[in-house]
Amino acid sequence: YNLVDEDWGYWKDGDRDHWDLMKELVDYSAKKGVKIWVWKAYPDRKGIDGLHDPAKREAFFKKCKEIGIAGMKLDFFDSEDQKIIQFYQAALRDAAKYQLMINFHGANKPTGETRTWPNEMTREAVRGLENNPPWALANTILPFTRYLAGHADFTPVHFGKRIGEVTWSHHIATMVIYTSPFFCIGAEPQDILDNPAKDLIKSIPAVWDETIVLSQSKIGEVAVYARRKGDAWFLAVVNGLKEPRSLTVDLSFLKKGSYKFSQMKDDQSKQAAAIVLNSEVTSNTMLNIQLNPAGGFVGRFDKK
């Protein structure tokens, strides 16, 4: 998926309006195997009608469906009053009617809506990457607090100015630790393609079949997660401290046998870099991980 953010409502090219141009983008993307999400404000904003009026909301959702849009990022709620909470239910109901997925931004934390409306793929309610660093400490607290309430759109991973104090491996580890079925990545696409760990990054799933919080985890210091999708296991670690640290991880969560092991670890001489290695391990292996200050680690295990 690609998300088209704010201001597409002003697109114009001669006699063609924003809907015509969006349809062109949707059709082009479909040829590449990519579907499109669009951003939309809940309130009236910059001269464009919002979604608080039921008739206008219905018309907008219907038009999105007609031109092939897959989902919507609805934004600027900034309240927990009754009309906003009621809107979430109405929007999810109306979106389901048109087979549209939803990501609520500027929203309160989830309270179980996805049990009724599985077309809610994620919501913000978190101090994500659109804000400014530091990141490390919060990244060792959020997995055990905010993410217990449900999915959150952190928009993780950046290799540019928002990298903050953490390492590349730390950023990518949050893709494994954080849960968001619509996983919207903050990095420039070319930066991912240029990264030595691009294949590992591309292989990280958005949803999981099993999650194990390992015993080395300590809130506010380090988060250590093992997660499984199908037969593939991932191990992710983020260091929330300003000092380097060493961990030894027992791989007994793996079944017996040999595994191909791909790992991305910190470059101890450089923050904005990573070392990618491939080897073989078993469930009896004791894995030693060296973490930079605010560092991280990601590993993938595939049964041979």
Q: Residue for token digits 């590993």?
A: 299
Q: How far is it, in rounded angstroms, from Cα 123 to Cα 146? A: 12
Tens of pLDDT, residue by residue over 293-304, are 999 999 999 999
What is the value of pTM for the model shown?
0.95
Domains of the chain: 1-125 (3.20.20.70), 132-304 (3.20.20.70)
Using only C-alpha atoms, the chain has a radius of gyration, in whole angstroms, of 21
| Tens-digit pLDDT profile for residues 107-134 | 999 999 999 999 999 999 999 999 999 9
Mean pLDDT of all residues in 25-32: 99
- Round the average pLDDT of the chain to a whole number and report it: 97
- Nearest CA to 73 out of 122, 132, 33 is that of 122
The reply to whether omega before 143 is within 30° of 0 (cis) is: no
pLDDT at site 49: 96
